[in-house]
A and B are shown apart, each in its own frame.
Chain A
Amino acid sequence: MDQTRDFINRILETRAARLIYPFIAPLLFGLYPAFYYYTKNATMVQSASFGRVVLAYVLLILALYLVFLPFHHFNGTRAANSVSVFLLFFNTYGIIYNELRDADIFRIEHLTLLPLLLLMAGYALWFTMRLAKKQAATLWKGTVILFTALMVLTVLRLIPIEVKKARIQREANRQVEAAAIAEAPSSYPDIYYFIFDEFSGVEAMRQYFHNTEVDEFKAFLEDNGFFVMEDSFSSSNHTVHQMAVRMNYTEYEYKQGDQPIWHEALANARGIALLESKGYTTMVFEEISMLHPTLPDIHADYLFHYNYATEGDMGILFDEFGMLVADTTMLYAFDDFYRLGNPADQAHKDFIISLQERLPNLEDIPSPRFVYTHLMIPHQPFMFDRNGDLVDVTFFQNWNYYEGQYIYTMKYIEKMVTRILANADPARPPVIILQSDHGARIRKNNQELKGFPQEMLRNILFAVYLPGYDTSTLTQDENPINTLPIIFNHYLGEDIPLQAPNLQGTEEGD
């Protein structure tokens, strides 16, 4: 025992070890924010994104350590303390900037705040250099103990989430048992199910934005034979939860941490399985994975993701998670550099525009077809203005630009519907559903848009084109959980019970 201790002591006393082991303190200190943000978003963030951020941090911390070592005459403990002190300012800059700006007590600009904090960091470093040997050792030890404890707590919180994620992923990847596929009767119509993420119900647009174009939009839909339900509400404000509910016509309880369950339900949707058993060709065009990259592939005959994946190669450092972490640091002062030309935004734009051509022209796909399309408009990034021109990247997250993208989305829908109906066989017209997952989530604390009626957060777009269906049986407050049952009962001869309107629901969900 004593021999082992002596051996360890001898190793720790070597010059190399005295330079290496102090590095643990800034490493724990610097990596903690990345772990913290990953734990908070673990159900939505791919481990590859997290890995890239961790790698970038390790390299940064190592570079800083190597820079500080000569200043401290190669005293590892002192250099480690200096790196930790600098990282304290580096890692909190974005938070301080946003908090002070929101408080709006005095003028806050990167131009002035960054030099101020850099000077404070320099001053703090100077104090650290002046610490006596014993004080420096105490500071180092304190950092190690505190951040080891925080890391252990974080990892303990992460383990069940990662286990759940892995289990769901395994289940989703398992081959779905082949359902008995019947020959589809030629009378079955093609079904287009469109989801426009964050598309507010029209009443909120009238009330809050005083937008009159929604009435022209509604008139367009009604003139083309659509039935518009203005008082329809979602049961939550979480995209995956809502789509799992609607694609399985099952009301899953909204519970924090149940995302993997909703992921699995959406990936293996009951509605798609039923359509396939009836002989439908099923197609999924989805952008949900843009913000929910951990969502497993939705099982369908054809699956089209938006054309950007962060897994499989080195990807980009500044994806959604990378930007989330970078926005809290000093890099935030230079955010134009990592936001401009972001390939994920470019892929989103390409996906939206290409579908306008593709969806009305699916003759090469065997009929009848079920086409489920989930587009991230008018959801953030608010990249399109009312005319479809690109907004400056600085405002992609600015809610003042929501209305412009909403108007663009209305025009997009009009064009899409017009083309689908023009190309359809008049003897076998399609079913078209236009819907949003939830309303515009402009909450009370929204900095840009104040006073949005909170009772409208779940008010959704719900319009249906149902040839041969008596729409007088539908109500204005139809529950969106009934979307597929209404169609399946009428066109496919099913007998699925319908649910009462969503008078109550949870406003939760991001």
Chain B
Amino acid sequence: MDFGAHAAPMKHSVIPKKLQVRPRTRVQLILFALLGIYLIIAPTIELKYFLTQGKPVELPGSMPESEDLINSGVDGSKETVIEGEKLYKINGWSFLTVATDLADYDIYLVLRSEKRDYVFQTTPTGRRDIPRVFPEFNLDLKNSGFNVYIAKEALRVGDYQVCFLYINKETGQRYFQETDRHIIRTPNRLELVKIQ
């Protein structure tokens, strides 16, 4: 008897036999692919949906040219935790030499790279030493200190020049100043450095 003639026809895969993978291998490949996707998107999801602080602000308009009108110093940076989120706190002082009152201005710290600027709102703090160091300025410098909080995840890895931006609250006039301080964002840290 020839059973062959009545046997069900074999299903032929369109994938060449050499490239076919066994189901178990397929499961592993899927697992690795899922992990790969997770590793890529997890930091982005964390930044977008879980980190609420230390993010840059969007300012319309372009940055003006750097003028020599802002005196400043960046004293240090260190990690801190605000409401459970790990951030870098940058502190220092600055003042606009042509201002009559620093309270008239919104003050921003700008991190500038070749590709883009990140703008962070600063919080004024008291400084007793600055009025003593700059007695020649007819300006109340008691609150010339600042703190700014930066989430390192908000920056791409790279070298950023620290700059200051003053915007007059009433007129909108802008003053911009580059400094010799840089912040380097490495994969795991933010480092404040001084470029000679």
Q: A and B bound?
A: yes
A295 to B32, CA, bound (A): 52
User: How does the 8 Å CB contact mask read for B92-134 relative to A, with 1 for contact and 0 for none?
Assistant: 0000000000000000000000000000000000000100000
Q: Is B39 an interface residue (CB 8 A)?
A: yes
- 1/0 per residue, CB under 8 A from B, across A96-108: the answer is 0000010011111
Q: How long is the Cα–Cα vector from A111 to B153 in the complex, in angstroms?
A: 13
Chain A residues closer than 8 Å to B187, beta-carbon distance: 104-108
Q: How far is the CA of A104 from the CA of B186 in the complex (A)?
A: 7
Q: Is B81 an interface residue (CB 8 A)?
A: yes
Asked if B158 is an interface residue, CB under 8 A from chain A, the answer is no
User: Quick check: is A222 within 8 A (CB to CB) of the other chain?
Assistant: no
The chain B residue with its CB closest to the CB of A111 is: B42
* Residue interface bits B73-84, CB-to-A below 8 A is 1, else 0: 000101111000
B86 touches A111 (CB 8 A): no
Query: In the assembly, what is the distance between CA of A398 and CA of B78, in Å?
Result: 9
A116 touches B39 (CB 8 A): yes
For residue A392, CB closer than 8 A to chain B, the reply is: yes
Picked from A112, A212, A392, the residue with its CB within 8 Å of the CB of B81 is A392
The CA of A275 and the CA of B52, in the complex, are separated in Å by 60
Is the CB of B137 closer than 8 A to any CB of chain A?
no
Instruction: Report the Cα distance A213→B128, complex, angstroms.
Output: 12
Asked if B78 and A400 sit within 8 Å, CB to CB, the answer is yes
Contact of A400 among B28, B42, B79, B186 (CB under 8 A): B79
A116–B78 contact, CB under 8 A?
A: no
Query: Which residues of chain B come closer than 8 Å to A107, judged between CB atoms?
Result: 43, 187-188
Instruction: Tell me how far the C-beta of B36 lies from the nearest C-beta in chain A, rounded to whole angstroms.
Output: 10
Residues on the A chain within 8 Å of B28, using CB = 123
Most B Cβ at <10 Å: residue of A106, A111, A448: A111
Contact with A along B3-34 (1 / 0, CB 8 A): 00000000000000000000000001001100
B78 pairs with A394, CB closer than 8 A? no
In the complex, which of the residues B32, B76, B78, B189 contacts A104, with contact meaning CB atoms closer than 8 Å?
Answer: B189
CA distance A119 to B80 in the complex (A): 31
A106–B43 alpha-carbon span in the complex (Å) = 13
Q: Does A109 contact B (CB under 8 A)?
A: yes
Question: When each residue 376-399 of chain A gets 1 if its CB lies under 8 Å from chain B and 0 otherwise, what string results?
Answer: 000000000000000010110010
With a cutoff of 8 Å between Cβ atoms, the chain A residues found around residue B78 in the complex are: 398, 400-401, 448
> Cβ of A115 < 8 Å from any Cβ of B?
yes
Q: A109-B43, A116-B35 are in contact. Are A394 and B86 (CB under 8 A)?
A: yes
Whether A395 pairs with B43 at a CB distance below 8 angstroms is no
A400 to B192 CA separation, bound complex (whole angstroms): 13
Q: Which residues of B contact A111 (CB under 8 A)?
A: 42-43, 46
CB pair A395–B79 under 8 Å, yes or no, is: yes
Q: B147-196: which have CB < 8 Å to A?
A: 186-189
Complexed CA–CA distance, A108 and B189 (Å): 10
- Among A160-211, those with CB < 8 Å from B are none
Which residue from chain B places its CB closest to the CB of A395 in the assembled complex?
B79
Out of A112, A123, A212, A448, name the residue touching B42 (CB < 8 Å): A112
CB distance from A331 to the nearest CB of B (A): 19
What's the minimum C-beta distance from B80 to chain A, rounded to whole angstroms? 7
Having A107-B43, A111-B42, one finds 7 other A-B pairs with CB under 8 Å, namely: A112-B38, A115-B39, A212-B129, A392-B80, A394-B81, A395-B79, A400-B76
Q: Which residues of A contact B (CB under 8 A)?
A: 101, 104-109, 111-112, 115-116, 119, 123, 212, 392, 394-395, 398, 400-401, 448
What are 24 A-B contacts with C-beta separation under 8 Å? A104-B186, A104-B188, A104-B189, A106-B187, A107-B188, A108-B187, A108-B188, A111-B42, A111-B43, A111-B46, A112-B43, A115-B38, A116-B35, A116-B39, A119-B32, A392-B80, A394-B79, A394-B81, A398-B79, A400-B76, A400-B78, A400-B79, A401-B78, A448-B78
Q: Can you list the 8 inter-chain pairs with the closest CB atoms, starting with the nearest?
A: A400-B78, A392-B81, A107-B187, A104-B186, A104-B188, A106-B187, A101-B188, A112-B39
